[in-house]
């Protein structure tokens, strides 16, 4: 699902992308666990976008441009920002999330969706020739991330700790 934000705080839900160029807006993904949020911001056009992806790659016969998947969601986020006038060469890219939320000691690597989401995001961003400017990934705790459209500032709050800039 894709939405262009208008007005102040805009929650980016599971499998969504939200975009804005309104300096009054803030895009927020609450409670990221194994999910990955990828933020892109063009400081010249003030075009901002936030992806909240759930799974690393789309499965066979899945919708090709679904934001639910990291691989297609990152490409879709970039395409939509370029439609808003963003230039990929100026984009500030950040990634948050990818925690291992399962506490099973013998859980197979294949089940670690958080790590797989982070790896998929790295591959997708590299294939699009985008560099990650900041990240807060992994661990075992959920996070909330906020992207401020006015200046591209991004904050992260890990469960049980203070909010900090990324």
Residue located via tokens 């006015």: 150
pLDDT confidence tier of residue 132, bands split at 50, 70 and 90: very high
User: What's the CATH number where 76 sits?
Assistant: 3.30.1330.200
Query: Tokens at residue 129, please?
Result: 């020739």
Q: Using one digit for the tens of pLDDT, what is the confidence trace for 92-130?
A: 999 999 998 775 554 555 578 999 999 999 999 999 999
Q: Catalytic site residue 35?
A: yes
Q: Which domain holds residue 19?
A: 2-165
For residue 71, give the nearest of 110, 109, 38, 111 by alpha carbon: 38
pLDDT confidence tier of residue 7, bands split at 50, 70 and 90: low
Total number of domains constituting the chain:
1
- What per-residue confidence (pLDDT) applies to 58? 80
- Can you name the residues that pair with 49 across neighbouring β-strands? 19, 40
Q: Using one digit for the tens of pLDDT, what is the confidence trace for 73-84?
A: 999 999 999 999
Between 41 and 160, where is the model more confident? 41
Q: Which of 12, 26, 29, 35 is catalytic?
A: 35
Q: pTM here? A: 0.89
């Amino acid at each position: 699902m894709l939405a262009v934000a208008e007005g102040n705080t805009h929650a980016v839900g599971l499998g969504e992308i939200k975009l804005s160029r309104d300096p009054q807006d803030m895009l927020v993904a609450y409670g990221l666990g194994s999910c990955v949020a990828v933020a892109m911001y063009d400081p010249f056009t003030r075009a901002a976008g936030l992806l909240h992806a759930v799974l690393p790659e789309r499965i066979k016969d899945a919708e090709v441009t679904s934001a639910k998947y990291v691989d297609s969601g990152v490409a879709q986020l970039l395409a939509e920002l370029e439609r808003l006038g963003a230039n990929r060469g100026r984009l500030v890219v950040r990634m948050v999330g990818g925690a291992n939320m399962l506490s099973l000691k013998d859980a197979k690597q294949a089940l670690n969706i958080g790590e797989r989401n982070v790896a998929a995001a790295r591959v997708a961003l590299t294939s699009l020739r985008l560099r990650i400017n900041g990240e807060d990934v992994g661990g075992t705790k959920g996070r909330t991330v906020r992207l401020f459209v006015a200046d591209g500032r991004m904050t992260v709050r890990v469960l049980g700790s203070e909010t900090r800039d990324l």
